[in-house]
Amino acid sequence: MDDRPRPDGADGSAESGGTGRGGRPTDDDPPALARLDRRFDASTRREAAEALGSPSSSMSAAASRIVDGLFEAALDDPDETVRAAAIESLYFHGDDHVDRLGRRVADRRGGGAEDGSGKTSGAAETFSRWLRHDRAAYRMLGATGLSTVGDEGAAPRLREAFDDGDARVRARAVRGYARVGGEAVEAVRPLVNARNDLVRGAAVDALVTIESDDAVELLARAARRGNEGLRLAVVRRLGALGRRDATGVLLGSLRDPSASVRRAAARSVAAVIAEADAVPAGDVRDRLLAERPFEADGLLAVFRAVAAERTGADRRAAPADATAGSEERVDTETKRYAAWLYCELLESADPTAADRSTAVEWLIDALDHRDRLVADFAAAYLPRIASTSGTGDGLPDDETDSALGVDIKRNLRALAGDEAASDAARERARAVLRRFKRAVVEAAADRDVEYVYVRWPADYTESYNE
């Protein structure tokens, strides 16, 4: 691929795929794919490349062949306008295709090594030149490729693109700037408050990559004072840092006025303690417990929401319509730590301060949770939560049910006999009921046996004589 003109008859490489000139289109392929062939004039090929950049349901069957054809056109078509149109269309098929294209060009150009005079050569030189290109597609690819190959002068050249007129170029430039070692937080600061979501998110990514004290301080300020979109971008990414000060910012964001920000903060908090040894889970729990009393729609609600999210494996196993429209992503360990924090908070919640019926009902439903460990958490904590309400003897009686706002025994019996529930869920429900029955016996024994504190043998004699 080059930005210099070449004759229409020039030979190209077939390394990017067999569709287009060198492949055989099928009957299912859109007509535009065949028109990428060099038998057509440059104007027709450009229009075809542009048409292939608007994915539709009718193109889904040929998606991989379309991408291959666009790759081939972007790399080898002799006309610059066709190559630029192909790059644009690849972007609309998926942001990662531009990354792959940058790596492909870098492989062809031999990386970013320096020549004998100390000047950059090969791919770095090409990408640096494209950063100043008239066409936004080339500048976007230049920023992408330069951040991939890097070299001594990559950071300042990418920094020059922070004020580019195209948001995609600015976003890739600022993210690449941090990736190649750029550390100037002040240079990134203006982009953190950009109106464009793409640029703003990339600036936050850059600060997370820089990870200096100044970078974390700027992220903390953005999490407190930014608009909702910026606050959401910050809390979604802070979980990757694994730093105590960053975790403190996330804990503060659990009180954010936006439900979306609170939920994202809860997800990031759970991710931090799941992955970062520097932030002990017990410390996070203790700081959360200091927030008592808990509002019904506060901490309990957001950690319950995270624990209920589907993992990637859940999504693959579920029907397509069951996951449609959801953009949430959570891994298994994050979900488990969210469930653990939820149980810890629920056990410590003041039953007189908020209605806990929804919280306890979810815990009963969680006995049939898709994740076995989350379901086991629910089974372990239910008796403990019942014992901290009402009489405090570990038995869910009428007084306890009134305090919790839900008839635990009746719900457990219903689950134990529900043929639609899994065998494991029914067994967990029966196991919790057995624990409650044992608590009845133990509580009765405690009431009927007289205990005498004996320090010296005479103490017992004196008590007995009385």
Average the pLDDT over 440-464 and give the result. Answer: 52
Q: Which residue matches tokens 């009180």?
A: 255
pLDDT value at residue 425: 93
- Give per-residue burial for 132-153: e unless 16+ CB within 10 Å, then b: ebebbbbbbbbbbbbbbbbbeb
Strand partners, 114: 120
Helices (H), 113-184: 123-130, 136-149, 154-159, 167-179
Give the model's pLDDT for residue 241. 86
Range in 74-83, 247-256, 403-412 with the lowest mean pLDDT: 403-412
The predicted model gives 73-80 an average pLDDT of: 96
> Which pLDDT does position 27 carry in this prediction?
58
pLDDT tens, 421-434?
Answer: 999 999 999 999 99
CA distance 462 to 4: 107
Run of H or E including 446: helix 423-448
pLDDT in tens, 78-94: 999 999 999 999 999 99
- CB neighbours (10 Å) of residue 334? 25
- Position 442 confidence tier, pLDDT thresholds 50, 70, 90: low
User: φ, ψ for residue 91 (rounded to 5)?
Assistant: -60, -45
pLDDT surpassing 90 at residue 466: no
The mean predicted confidence, pLDDT, of the chain is 81
Given a cut of 50, is residue 275 above it in pLDDT? yes
Q: Which two tokens stand for residue 286?
A: 């203790």
Q: Which amino acid, 429? A: A
Mean pLDDT over 197-219 rounds to: 94
What would the two tokens of residue 170 be? 């600015």
With CA atoms as reference, report the closest residue to 285 among 247, 314, 233: 247
Q: Is the pLDDT of residue 130 over 90?
A: yes
Measured between alpha carbons, how far is residue 458 from residues 29, 461, 465, 466 in Å?
99, 5, 11, 12
230-244, 324-338, 382-396, 449-463 — which one is most confidently predicted on average? Answer: 230-244
Query: What does the alpha-carbon distance between residue 234 and residue 254 come to, in Å, rounded to a whole number?
Result: 13
* pLDDT band at residue 352 using 50, 70 and 90 as cut-offs: low
Which region, left, alpha or beta, applies to residue 354 given φ > 0 means left and ψ of -120 to 50 means alpha? beta
Read off the pLDDT of residues 276-333 as tens digits, 9 standing for 90 and up.
Answer: 677 889 999 999 988 776 666 688 889 999 998 876 455 444 444 433 334 456 789 9
Structure token pair of residue 394: 């570990």
CB of 288 closer than 8 Å to CB of 251: yes
Cα–Cα distance for residue pair 218/195, rounded to 1 Å: 17
Mean pLDDT along residues 176-201: 94
Please state which of the ranges 52-56, 140-144, 226-230, 364-368 shows the lowest mean pLDDT.
52-56
Report the percent of the chain where pLDDT is more than 90: 55
- The pair phi, psi for residue 114, each rounded to 5°, is -95, 145
pLDDT at 117 over 60: no
> How much is the CA Rg of the chain, to the nearest whole Å?
31
Taken in order 92, 95, 98, 100, the sign of the CA dihedral is negative
Confidence of residue 11 (pLDDT cuts 50, 70, 90): very low
pLDDT digits 0-9 by tens, 26-72: 656 788 999 999 999 999 999 999 999 986 766 777 888 999 999 99
The residue ranking higher by pLDDT, 25 or 271, is: 271
Percentage with pLDDT > 70 across the chain: 74
**All domains of the chain, ordered by start, with CATH?**
30-93 (1.25.10), 95-110+121-182 (1.25.10.10)
At residue 208 the predicted structure's pLDDT band, cuts being 50, 70 and 90, is very high
8 A C-beta contact, residue 174 and residue 188: yes
Q: Are 178 and 172 in contact (CB under 8 A)?
A: no
**pLDDT attached to residue 158:** 96
3-state secondary structure of 13: coil
Count of CA atoms in the C-beta half-sphere (13 A) of 135: 15
CA distance readout (Å), 97 to 74, 86, 203 = 11, 11, 21
Residue 130 burial class via C-beta count within 10 angstroms: exposed 0-12, middle 13-18, buried 19 and up: buried
Strand partners for 120? 114
Q: Give the pLDDT of residue 439.
A: 66
Give the largest Cα separation in the chain, rounded. Answer: 117
Whether the pLDDT of residue 400 is over 60: the answer is: no
pLDDT exceeds 90 at position 462: no
Residue 446 neighbours by CB under 8 Å, 6+ apart: 393
Q: How far is CA 366 from the centre of its chain?
A: 23
pLDDT band (50, 70, 90) for residue 120? very low
Alpha helices in 20-112 (DSSP H): 31-34, 42-51, 63-76, 80-93, 95-109
* Interval 14-24: pLDDT, tens: 333 344 444 45
Across the range 238-259, mean pLDDT stands at 90
Average pLDDT over residues 260-278: 89
Contact 302, 359 (CB under 8 A): no
pTM: 0.75
